[in-house]
Amino acid sequence: MFAILFAIDFKVTNSWRIFVIKINKMSVKLAIFDLDGTLVNTIGDLGSSCNAVLAAHGFPTHPMEDYKIFIGRGMRNLIRQAMPPEVLTEALLDQCFEEYKQQYLGHIYDFSYDYQGMNALLEGLTKAGIKTAVASNKIQEGTDRLINHFFPDIPFVAIMGFGPDRPLKPNTAMVEEAMAKAGASREETVLIGDSMMDLQTAANAAIRFIAVSWGFRPLSDASYATFTAASPQAILEYCVE
């Protein structure tokens, strides 16, 4: 039995209202991973696929660096940001989103790669008896394909992407689903990610958050993370310690 000591901090930063639950170090039973920018570098395929759709409609395209800003709130929101605002209608957005999904799923492995050390991290967590899950705002089919391609031997308890019955982060539905499948409490659960979206999700769910240093967008205030990891090995050491 562990005694739980916690404090709640509040801050408004970059339009995010952050309530951070600071929990004393406990054993980790469940590690939930973000996908894009955390497990896998997907920016090349996300950006090039979106640019292909934009170009087909005669719209300006974007450099890959722009897509690091667009990413995080789901693929529909990504292409909404990429489209010229003066032509944007819901009907055209619907059309371009469908085209984007098909283009992306057809080129999902062209440039994407798993970050060095990720397989070793996931294998190490599994060996230590720590359950793992994936929580992504990517569409479910894309999430499944990437995880099965890059991490086929990892026994994730849940691989969760966006779908009709699962809302986007920072809603806590994915966290709650993973905890239920793993039989883990909030105090035994940690979320690992690279963005303010992930931090807000962890705060909303009152679980610990590990910020990774290699993601697409540096956190505006990493001090709100329970721990900041400079490498996958650092995550393993935190969770298994």
Q: What is the DSSP string of 27-63?
A: --SEEEE--BTTTEE-HHHHHHHHHHHHHHTT-----
Max avg pLDDT among 23-27, 98-102, 224-228: 98-102
pTM greater than 0.85 (yes/no): yes
Rounded Cα–Cα distance for residues 13 and 90 (Å)? 30
All structural domains of the chain: 6-41+114-240 (3.40.50.1000), 43-105 (1.10.150)
DSSP letters of 128-153? TT-EEEEEEEEEHHHHHHHHHHH-TT
217-237 pLDDT tens trace: 766 556 678 999 999 999 999
How many C-beta atoms surround the C-beta of residue 146 within 10 A?
25
pLDDT for residue 21 is more than 90: no
| Top-confidence residue, 144 or 225 | 144
